[in-house]
Structure 1
Amino acid sequence: MKQFLKFDPILKDKIWGGEKLKNLLNKTTDRNDVGESWEISDVEGDTSIVSNGALEGTDLKELISRYKGDLVGEKVFAQFAEKFPLLIKFIDAKEALSIQLHPHDDLARERHNSFGKTEMWYVMQADEKANLIVGFKEEVTSEEYKHHLENKSLTDILNIDEVKEGDVYFIPTGRVHAIGAGVLLAEIQQTSDITYRIYDWDRQDSHGNYRDLHTDEAIDAIDYVVKDSYRTNYRKQQNSSTEMVSCPYFTTNIVPITDVFSIDHSDKDSFVIYMCVKGNAMFVADNQKETLQKGETILVPNTLKHFSIHPLENTELLEVYIK
């Protein structure tokens, strides 16, 4: 199989969602509280469906069942079988998300029959003074954590960073985190929808209900390790693919392009995903062309090793695959 694959976005209304996915990323919706656009998903009940080419209307599960390693890579298929291993999103936080964390693989498997949820963020746009909560700012014990949680002073011990376009954060399982109000970002994560919500700013939904918290479940899952900085350092190099984050679950590179960029993925045994975070470009291979605009995502199957990317303006892409 050698077709560039695009999928219909799966839009998720959220109590904290806003209008940037519609207004800045051109997602088609008349709703004003869309918090997430699931670009590529194999989460049960939310399977992505191809929106282009000869395979239009085919869902991701059927694609993997039909094409196996030709689609995802032989090594990836051997490890994950017919489960696509990544969930790809754009997220708009008009209001702050809950303070939360995700369990590791073993805990998620034992409790939820699910993968864990290691993830990363790439900030696409941030309002003035918008922030992210990532990790603790000082050493604390579980007892001290519980004290602050009970006294609604949790933010006193958490690391809060003001952020701007281009900031990158890696969020391993167990790390406490929250997306602050005014942040639009791209998220790459393991295929999992398991979240332990530990504080939700005491807000209520339209019916006056509070969202569930997962206080007890989270205690065993929290990583209390403190880092000097949680922001990922990287350098952009024009017309080059530069690694930002690499872990056992995914590798993500930044690709800023101003000229025709030739791709050779013959060194990889994996699908490759491109998320357009700036500008727009044309993907060209053999007799096919596919446009990719800001806020869109494309999946390149494992068997499509050589193609070129033609920027139609200054363009930046996130390039995602499994090593």
Structure 2
Amino acid sequence: MPKLLQLIPEYRDYVWGGQRLRPGTLTAEAWIVYEGDRIATGAWQGKTLAEAAQEWGAALLGQTAWRRTGERFPLLIKILDCQQWLSVQVHPNDEQARQLAGPDQFGKTEAWHILDAAADAQLIAGVQAGTSPAALAQAIRNGTILDLVQYHRAQTGDTLFMPAGTLHALGPGFLVYEVQQTSNLTYRIFDWNRPASAGRTLHIEQSVAVTNAQGAGQIQPAGELPADAQRQLVQCPYFTLNLLAAQSQPLTLETHGQSFHAITVIEGQGTIVCGDERVTLNQFETVLVAAQSGGYQLHPIGSVRALRASVE
């Protein structure tokens, strides 16, 4: 099997999207790592990531992911261009997902890394301290949830961890990298009174069932990262997210055979080199390093920053 798989993203447009992902075309989301994404080059060109996972199993995914999700690829990674408020929404945990949506469903714990933020950009993450479950349920049902939410300002480079059950919404002016479990289960609570023609169905009773009244997003402010270094941003049972930077020399990385690494360039250009295979990545392009690949390097072209997602 190949060590490196470059992926072709799928694009989705919703009412809140912008034009930064595909200039001249309204696009809300780029699904940059997704089991339906197709492989860009090599003998498996045109095959989906799901087909690759079925063929190579733990050699591609790693033992941890294989134990947790079997041949299902365990993560969904997107880039979001937010030019209007997204709906106020919530995601179930694994048990709730199975109860509400079927036995083959997964919950959705996620994290955001802010790639760009307007000076006045705000987001919603969690509800106000002291909110009772009964008050929360009443506000969801009667459409007054905005009276109870926590608003936050976030800057470029900040990272937010959002456990399943955390009420949340991104506001206009954000460009965001989002990593989550392999699930797109979303229960909308409030959609800013957009017209019915926008097709944005609300999921009131499901939202009441899964929203955690004590849930709040955890914000990690941007910090300095020296060149030729890496820093862990998030580690949870479902994924690990690291920020990588290389400028003066290659950055050496290692899968240890335990997990794939999904490398997405967020600034500059870089080349991933693993044995006799190499893939050069521009901004927002992604390569998947197979779990069995072992050691590899990120070579900067000038300078490069990238995010690395894995399951460890």
Structure-2 residue corresponding to 1:286: 275
Determine if contact 1:274/1:297 at 8 Å carries over to the other structure.
yes
2:165 counterpart SS class: coil
Give the C-alpha shift of residue 210 in structure 1.
Answer: 5.3
SS of residue in 2 equivalent to 1:18: coil
Aligned partners of 2:16 and 2:132: how far apart in 1?
30
Q: Deviations over 1:245-267 (max 9, x none)?
A: 00000000111221222424153
Cα distance change, pair 152–291 in 1 and its aligned pair in 2 (3 A): same
Partner AA of 1:317 in structure 2: A
Kept in 2: contact 1:263–1:305 (CA 8 A): no
AA partner of residue 146 (structure 2): T
Q: Structure 1 residue aligned with 2:25, among 8, 22, 31?
A: 31
What amino acid maps onto 2:29 in structure 1?
A: E
Aligned AA (2:5): L
Distance 1:96 1:84, change over 3 A: same
For the 8 Å contact 2:229–2:251, the answer to whether it is kept is: no
Taking the TM superposition and a 5 Å limit, the aligned residue runs for 1:239-318 are 239-318=228-307
* 2:93 maps to 1:99: no
SS in 2 for 1:201: coil
Give the aligned partner of residue 12 of structure 1. 12
- Of 206, 219, 236 in structure 2, the residue corresponding to residue 231 of structure 1 is 219
Deviations 1:110-141 (A, max 9, x none): 22121000000001011220111101132211
Q: Counterparts of 1:51-130 in structure 2 under 5 Å? A: 51-113=40-102, 114-130=105-121
Runs of 4+ deviating beyond 3 Å: 146-153
TM-score (norm 1): 0.90
Partner SS for 1:61? helix
Structure 1 CA distance, aligned partners of 2:311 and 2:142? 42
Q: Please tell me the residue identity of whatever aligns with 1:7.
A: L
RMSD after superposition:
1.9
Does the Cα contact within 8 Å between 1:101 and 1:175 map onto a contact in 2?
A: yes
For residues 42-69 of structure 1, the C-alpha deviation after alignment (integer angstroms, 9 at most, x for no partner) is 2xxxx11101223211111221121111
Alignment check: 8 A CA contact 1:138 1:226 kept: no
Encode CA deviations 1:138-179: one digit per residue, 9 max, x unaligned.
Answer: 221133224444564422321111222101100100000001
Deviation at 1:225, TM superposition (A): 1.2
- Please tell me whether the aligned partners of residues 139 and 226 of structure 1 are also in contact (alpha carbons under 8 angstroms): no
Change (3 A) 1:279 1:149: same
1:164 is the counterpart of 2:155? yes
CA contact (8 A) 2:141 2:204 kept: no
User: In the alignment, does 2:41 pair up with 1:41?
Assistant: no
Counterparts in 2 of 1:146 and 1:296: CA distance versus 1, 3 Å? same
Q: 2:21 is paired with a residue of what secondary structure?
A: helix
Deviation at 1:209, TM superposition (A): 5.3
- Whether the aligned pair in 1 keeps the contact of 2:230 and 2:244 (CA below 8 Å) is yes
What TM-score comes out, normalization by structure 2 length?
0.93
What SS is found at the alignment partner of 1:17? Answer: coil
| Aligned-partner SS, 2:68 | helix
Structure 1 residues 191 and 226: CA distance shift in structure 2, 3 A: closer
SS in 2 for 1:299: strand
How far apart are the structure 2 equivalents of 1:256 and 1:132? 27
* 8 Å CA contact retained: 2:157, 2:222: no
Identity %: 29
Preserved CA contact (<8 Å) 1:275 1:297 = yes
Give unmatched runs, 5+ long, in structure 1.
24-29
1:190 matched to 2:178: no
Cα distance in 2, alignment partners of residues 165 and 233 from structure 1: 9
Q: CA deviation at 1:212?
A: 1.2
Work out the CA distance in 1 between the residues paired with 2:310 and 2:208: 32
Which ranges in structure 2 are unaligned for 5 or more consecutive residues? none
Q: Compute the displacement of 1:284 (Å).
A: 1.7
Q: CA deviation at 1:288?
A: 2.4
